[in-house]
Amino acid sequence: MRTMSTDTSVAAENVQLNLLRAAPAWRKLAMVWNLNHALKGLILADLEERFPDDDRDMRHRRLAHRWLGPTLARAAYGAVDEA
């Protein structure tokens, strides 16, 4: 049997999947929220490095363009130059 990750044994993956299946819905939602929060932090860090002169509002507009996609973000916030 193959695992989803090359560095994880079948037994370890089975334990992990069983724990995830047994977790209550609120815990699964909290895990997703935490992952989204971490991802937004990584995106903001990248934007800060790529556009050091941007103010906080512009950085969050650029975040919206990456997070929502250009079409939805443009409709909500207007165009942002991603040069």
Residues in the chain, total:
83
Residue 56 lies in a domain: yes
Count: domains in the chain: 1
Residue 59 covered by a domain: yes
**pLDDT computed for residue 42 by the predictor:** 97
For 41, the domain range is 10-77
Write out the two tokens for 49: 């490095």
Residue 36 is predicted with a pLDDT of: 97
Structure tokens at 68: 């929502």
Note the pLDDT of residue 82.
Answer: 61
Residues 62 and 47: beta-carbon distance below 8 Å: yes
- The answer to whether position 3 is within a domain reads no
pLDDT, one tens digit per residue, over 2-43 is: 778 888 899 999 999 999 999 999 999 999 999 999 999 999
pLDDT in tens, 53-65: 999 999 999 999 9
